[in-house]
Structure 1
Amino acid sequence: RCVFCGTCENASNGLIKFTNDYEISTSERADLITSGELPALAEHAKQHFKKLFGRSLQLRQVSAAGCNACEADLNVLATPFFDLGRFGINFVASPRHADGIVVTGPVSRNMKTALLQTYEATPAPKVVIAVGSCTISGGPFTGSPEITEGLDKILPVDLFIPGCPPHPMTNLHALLSFFK
């Protein structure tokens, strides 16, 4: 549920420290709860996806009632500075042209049907990526009957990218580490 506000760092008397480390994504939600060491991304999953998708990955982004901060930092990946396309990863307009979906936001009750329809429209095999604290756990909206308390409660998630919002370098590192 961490939104990276820094309050826990100030209250922990040095036990918790925020760093500039952007290598914080993982393939298992349980691995986001940590004692300080995050496990490496699952090697078998990386090989599985590389075999399925080769050198190209087409993704459909779904905003499921978020504040738009995660979307903004994903959009930055298309700029000349990051140039995600040079790695063979692109965002497409239709789920029918996608290899997977990237979901942002806490998945509101009103967006759940649209999200599931997008997932169904994406041809198999497909990947699901949860970006941001809201998508992973509900973030600050946890407990509200209007949202889902984690995308993995309704869809099988292959990659979790934490943050509020995740820095573009965190998103880039996660996509390249997991799929390339």
Structure 2
Amino acid sequence: MVRLEGRSVRMDVTKDNHPVEQMTKDPVVIDQVKRLVHIAPLEKLFNVARAHSLWPLGFGLACCAIEGLMAASMPRFDLARFGYEVIRGTPRQSDVMLVAGTVTKKAAPFVVRLYEQMTEPKWVIAMGSCAISGGPFVDSYHVVPGVDKLIPVDVYVPGCPPRPEAVIDAYIMLKEKIMNPKVVELPRG
């Protein structure tokens, strides 16, 4: 029984008239598809809201923080027009981590700890050649050859140092990625 506008309406949904069950007879697939069908429009709405309210966590490990991130926030490039101007100082209020600069093996546990303290869902932007691949220090014994060895990275911003336009473009790419996520098909059988 379902109540609609003060009236009780009996909805008769039998096993034979459900379109998902007409397509397949596998009960696991039927349950998964039924859950996705009901949640998909709501999840799309959540993704649009998430994409338009990114709260970045910025911490500078080297020169990329000044040359790329801070310069993008200045009036000439105006990161504020996209709504990303307030860079959070704590991981518990952030959902985007901006790794700007060289990650040393001594700083690696702190980067991982900050990532783990961030709220779900969370994304990572690696800025500069040092954060992406170790940069000119890649042959050193104390430098991590890319932050993607520690945490998953969603967007890479190349350059040494990265241009402020590239930082803004990375935000836009992340926004598109959040609004249009890739759908992963489940294996059958």
Query: Into which bin does the TM-score normalised by the smaller protein fall?
Result: 0.5 to 0.7
Q: Quick check: 1:99 aligned with 2:95?
A: yes
> Number of aligned pairs?
132
How many angstroms apart in 2 are the aligned matches of 1:145 and 1:49?
Answer: 43
Query: 1:124 is matched by which residue type in structure 2?
Result: E
User: In the alignment, which residue of structure 1 is the partner of 2:82?
Assistant: 87
Residue 73 of structure 1 aligns with which residue?
Answer: 68
| Moved >6 Å (runs of 4+) | none
Identity of aligned residues (%): 36
Aligned equivalent of 2:57: 60
RMSD: 2.1
Q: Report how far residue 163 of structure 1 moved.
A: 0.2
Tell me by how many angstroms 1:48 deviates: 10
Q: Do the aligned residues in 2 keep the contact of 1:74 with 1:171 (CA within 8 Å)? A: yes
Cα drift, residue 83 of structure 1 = 2.0
Alpha-carbon distance in 2 for matches of 1:86, 1:132: 23
The match for 1:126 is 122
TM-score, scaled relative to structure 2: 0.63
Higher helix share: 2
Alpha-carbon distance in 2 for matches of 1:87, 1:72? 19
Counterparts of 1:76 and 1:48, CA distance in 2: 32
Going from structure 1 to structure 2, the CA distance change for 1:86 and 1:112 (only over 3 Å counts) comes to same
Distance 1:125 1:171 in 2: 21
Conserved? CA contact 1:62–1:115, under 8 Å: no
Bigger RCO (CA 8 Å, 6+ sep): 1
Which of the two has higher C-alpha Rg? Answer: 2
**Whole-Å separation in 2 of the counterparts to 1:151 and 1:56:** 24
Gaps of 5+ in 2: 1-43, 177-189
